[in-house]
Structure 1
Amino acid sequence: MAQVESFQLDHTKVIAPYVRIAGTERNGKGGIVQKYDLRLLQPNADAVPTAALHTLEHLLATYLRDELPGIIDISPMGCRTGFYLIIWDEHSPADVAAALTKVLHKVLETETVPAVSPLECGNYKDHSLFGAKEYAKLVLESGISDDPFVRK
């Protein structure tokens, strides 16, 4: 049976919010892709409601691309405690944490959520900008660590 990296992580020992490298893949031509765990909430203690998570997904997908070159994808975790970031090349956890912090500050200033029409979004009615701002504020108040086992 295949080993899934996130299933190997001891979710009882990590301290959210944090950014961590969840994987690095290299191909034979020198290409590098990294997967990051952007954990906003403590696993098994809290979860972002779907409407707020969906709005955060739209905002992170837009704003993080302005901060970090080479983003392939930003996807919410099924447990609703954070996001996975897939990105070309190598980036340090500190750089990704700094970009996420900057973006969450932008979320607090946002007045309009991008891509919330039936043409652009598969569940355009399920959004909460208020909820996204509340969770962004909560994460910023806690501080984002670049080490999942150390509180910021």
Structure 2
Amino acid sequence: MAEVESFQLDHTKVLAPYVRLIDVERGPKGDAISNFDVRFVQPNANAIGMAALHTIEHSMASLIRDRIDGMIDFSPFGCQTGFHMIMWDEPTAEEVAKAIKGSLEELASDGFTWDNVPGVAEKECGNYRNHSLFGAKEWAKKILAEEISSDAFERKIV
């Protein structure tokens, strides 16, 4: 079986919340695609509930694109501790962390309502009943209070 980098990561050594560059892949024409580990909660110590995680996913898909160019995808980890963020080119972990922080700040704000969450209707979402804006906002506030690092092993707050 192929080795998967994230399964080689020592999850007992990381210090969430953080943004970590996993790898940069190059396409046949030399295009760079960067894969980031966006870890919101400490592995094996906590997990974001599925309804809140789902709403964070939908919200951040739009909010991040407002702050940084080149995002391809923002997909939740099955362990419910964070997301893979796939991007064109080679942005730094610090640049990505700043975009994540700004996005979480907007999500946590009083002005962010259900009207701002994209893709929550039955025709737009494969599990439209499984959302929690309240939960998403509470997790965003918690993550911001703990501060986001641009390094997984040493706290480099953005």
Give the TM interval when normalised to the shorter protein: over 0.9
Question: What is the match of residue 93 of structure 1?
Answer: 93
RMSD over aligned CA atoms reads 0.8
Which of 118, 127, 130 does residue 134 from structure 2 map onto? 130
Structure 2 letter corresponding to 1:103? S
Structure 1 letter corresponding to 2:140? A
Q: Quick check: 1:13 aligned with 2:13?
A: yes
CA distance in 1 between partners of 2:106 and 2:17 (Å)? 18
CA distance in 1 between partners of 2:129 and 2:91 (Å)? 35
Paired-residue identity, %: 53
Alignment of 1:72-87 (within 5 A): 72-87=72-87
SS state at 2:113 partner: coil
CA distance in 1 between partners of 2:148 and 2:71 (Å)? 20
SS state at 1:66 partner: coil
Q: Quick check: 1:111 aligned with 2:113?
A: yes
Report how far residue 27 of structure 1 moved: 2.4
SS state at 1:146 partner: coil
Question: What is the match of residue 54 of structure 1?
Answer: 54
Aligned length: 152
Per-residue displacement from partner, 1:57-101 (whole Å, max 9, x unpaired)?
Answer: 000101111111111111000000001000000100000000000
CA distance in 2 between partners of 1:103 and 1:94 (Å)? 14
Question: What is the match of residue 33 of structure 1?
Answer: 33
State the TM-score, normalizing by the size of structure 1: 0.97
Is there any run of 5+ residues in structure 1 with no aligned partner, and where? none
Question: What is the match of residue 148 of structure 1?
Answer: 152
Report how far residue 52 of structure 1 moved: 0.2
Question: What is the match of residue 69 of structure 1?
Answer: 69
CA distance in 1 between partners of 2:70 and 2:98 (Å)? 16
Report how far residue 28 of structure 1 moved: 3.6
